[in-house]
Structure 1
Amino acid sequence: MNNLTIYRILTYIIFLIGAFMAMLLLTFLMAALANPVLLLPTFMVACVVIYSYCSWRFLTRGIDAHMYCKTSLRDLTRVNGYGALAFASLTAIQCISLIMNPALLNDILEQAMSMQKSSVEGMEEMMTKFMGFLLKFMLVYSVLLLVHIFSTFRLLKIHADAFDLPGTTNNP
């Protein structure tokens, strides 16, 4: 299996998760407008969503179909790739620190459960299992996103001719 096949698989995985994140982005945006502290995380999620779409578009049009792509696609992919890189790095670091320190995760869960007005029996155990799953999922996703971003940056250099107008050359 060559690198481009792995990149294709990663692109579709990133694209599907990005589509789900796009639906959540509207909720994040409403919450961020009410609480400005959430603007930076919302911006980073938006970067991941835009990067997911732009990298998929670059793969389908520029690499697979050998069609002309506007330079704005390359610029959007790069700029949002840097934002997605920050998101993936921070998410990986946070997930690793919470997985390595389960006492901290338990403290966070206890604080969240204490804020609940009504408590359902077995809710604490279910939340602990769900948070463990979510942390592992986000760690895997952030690592895949990091690999994908670096691969995309490399492919943008290799397939720079996809952004040249047909019939033009860059040689002086």
Structure 2
Amino acid sequence: MTFIYRILTYLFLPVAVLLSLSALSFFMMALGQPALLLPTFIIVAMIIYVFASFSFVQKVIVQQQAVKARLRDWIRVNAFVTGAIALLNIGQSVLLLLNPEQIKLVIDQLAEAMAQTPGAPSYDLQLLVKWVLIISTALSSLLVVHIVLGFVLQKDMQPIFQSRICFFVAPFIY
């Protein structure tokens, strides 16, 4: 189980790097359009989840070090957001793949937008949209598997997380 979790974590690292580049541009656009703050937050939550999972893999699974409970909290909080978006993405992609009329609608909208863009290359949009949906569904499914495995591993490795000390009590302990 840890092997699969590690492989999936390493698989998602390049995706997280690409998402972090897009998150920077989304953040700049969100400063001018507050409606983009929610998608930016979702992208940042996915990025934080992947990098926190990578830190979990490196410190806990590979080096078998004790880590602070804060890492577990970062993974859990961002896993809920990431998992919800991944499940929504799976549902949307499956519905689009099963309903060719909806794909045709999306393709017509894309073709119209590309026709307005000067110098836009011509693609076989139906094939492009189909492959984007397939890849998106596969990555989202793997992300859900990764999240479930992460929760199981965190439960199994509970003793490796250092307990929290309340910062009001900590000065009196030492």
- What does 1:137-152 align with in structure 2 at a 5 Å threshold? 137-152=135-150
Q: Which amino acid counterpart does residue 21 of structure 2 have in structure 1? A: M
Q: Which amino acid counterpart does residue 41 of structure 1 have in structure 2? A: P
The count of residues paired between Structure 1 and Structure 2 equals 162
Q: Return the match for 2:36 from 35, 38, 41.
A: 38
Output the CA distance in 2 between the equivalents of 1:114 and 1:17.
Answer: 29
TM-score with structure 1 length normalisation?
Answer: 0.85
The answer on whether the counterparts of 1:88 and 1:145 sit within 8 Å (CA) in structure 2 is yes
Q: Return the match for 2:95 from 92, 97, 106.
A: 97
Shift of 1:78: 0.6
Specify whether residues 121 and 148 from structure 1 end up closer, same or farther in structure 2 by C-alpha distance, changes over 3 A only: closer
Unaligned runs of 5+ in 1: 166-172
- What does 1:16-165 align with in structure 2 at a 5 Å threshold? 16-115=14-113, 116-118=115-117, 123=122, 125-164=123-162
Q: Moved runs in structure 1, 4+ residues, more than 6 A?
A: 119-122
**Which stretch shifts more, 102-111 or 84-93?**
102-111
Q: Which amino acid counterpart does residue 83 of structure 1 have in structure 2? A: V
- After superposition, the CA RMSD in angstroms is 1.9
SS at match of 2:149: helix
The answer on whether the counterparts of 2:111 and 2:125 sit within 8 Å (CA) in structure 1 is no
Specify whether residues 86 and 63 from structure 1 end up closer, same or farther in structure 2 by C-alpha distance, changes over 3 A only: same
Specify whether residues 11 and 126 from structure 1 end up closer, same or farther in structure 2 by C-alpha distance, changes over 3 A only: same
Output the CA distance in 1 between the equivalents of 2:106 and 2:34.
Answer: 22
SS at match of 1:67: coil
In percent, how many aligned pairs have the same letter?
Answer: 31
Q: Which amino acid counterpart does residue 148 of structure 1 have in structure 2? A: H
**C-alpha offsets along residues 38-59 of structure 1, whole Å, 9 cap, x if unaligned?**
3222211111110000011101
Q: Which amino acid counterpart does residue 16 of structure 1 have in structure 2? A: P
Unaligned runs of 5+ in 2: 164-174
TM-score with structure 2 length normalisation?
Answer: 0.84
The answer on whether the counterparts of 2:46 and 2:81 sit within 8 Å (CA) in structure 1 is yes
